[in-house]
Amino acid sequence: MANAELQHHLVNAWSVGWALYIGTVTVWIVLQRRPPLSTVLWILVLALLPYVGYIVYYFLGPQRLKRRRIKRLRSRLLIASQTERALLREHEHQIPPTVARMAALGRTACDIPLSSATDVRLLVGGAQTYDAFVEAICAAREHIHVEFYIFDPDRIGTAIRDLLAEKARQGVAVRLLVDALGSDRLGRRFLAPLREAGAQVGFFHNVRIGRRWRPVTNYRNHRKILICDGKLGFTGGLNVTDDEDERTRPDAYHDVHLRIEGGAVRWLQMVFLEDWAYATKQRTDDRELDALLPEMPPGEHHVQILTSGPDDPRQAIHRMQVAAIHAATERVWLTTAYFVPSEPALMSLTSAAQKGVDVRLLVPRRSDSLVVTAASRSYFDELLEAGVKVWEYQDRMLHSKTLLVDDTYSFIGTANFDNRSFELNFEVMALVYGETMARQLGRQFELDLRQAARVAKDRETPFPRRLFDSFARLFSPML
- Measured N-to-C along each axis, helices 97-110 and 316-327 cross at an angle, to the nearest 10 degrees, of 160
A 10 A CB-CB count for 87 gives 14
**Under a CB-based contact definition with an 8 Å cutoff, are residues 146 and 226 in contact?**
yes
**Under a CB-based contact definition with an 8 Å cutoff, are residues 310 and 218 in contact?**
yes
Amino acid at 225: I
Q: Is 229 a catalytic residue?
A: yes
Which of 145, 222, 231, 302 is catalytic? The answer is 222
**Under a CB-based contact definition with an 8 Å cutoff, are residues 226 and 136 in contact?**
yes
Cα separations in angstroms, 210 against 114, 178, 189, 197, 205: 41, 15, 15, 24, 12
**Under a CB-based contact definition with an 8 Å cutoff, are residues 138 and 237 in contact?**
no
Please tell me the distance from the alpha carbon of residue 366 to that of residue 457, in angstroms, as a whole number: 19
Please tell me the distance from the alpha carbon of residue 264 to that of residue 302, in angstroms, as a whole number: 8
**Under a CB-based contact definition with an 8 Å cutoff, are residues 254 and 392 in contact?**
no
Q: Is 8 a catalytic residue?
A: no
Q: Is 222 a catalytic residue?
A: yes
Which of 231, 301, 401, 448 is catalytic? The answer is 401
Q: Is 355 a catalytic residue?
A: no
Residues in the chain: 479
Which of 224, 231, 257, 318 is catalytic? The answer is 224
Which of 243, 406, 418, 469 is catalytic? The answer is 406
Task: Classify the phi-psi angles of 305: left when phi > 0, otherwise alpha if psi is within -120 to 50, otherwise beta.
Answer: beta
A 10 A CB-CB count for 403 gives 24
Q: Nearest to residue 438, comparing CAs of 307, 319, 322, 328?
A: 328
Q: Is 224 a catalytic residue?
A: yes
Q: Is 373 helix (H, G, I), strand (E, B) or coil?
A: helix
Q: Are strands 173-179 and 143-148 parallel, antiparallel or unpaired?
A: parallel
Q: Is 406 a catalytic residue?
A: yes
Which of 179, 229, 275, 448 is catalytic? The answer is 229
A 10 A CB-CB count for 67 gives 11
Active-site amino acid positions: 222, 224, 229, 399, 401, 406
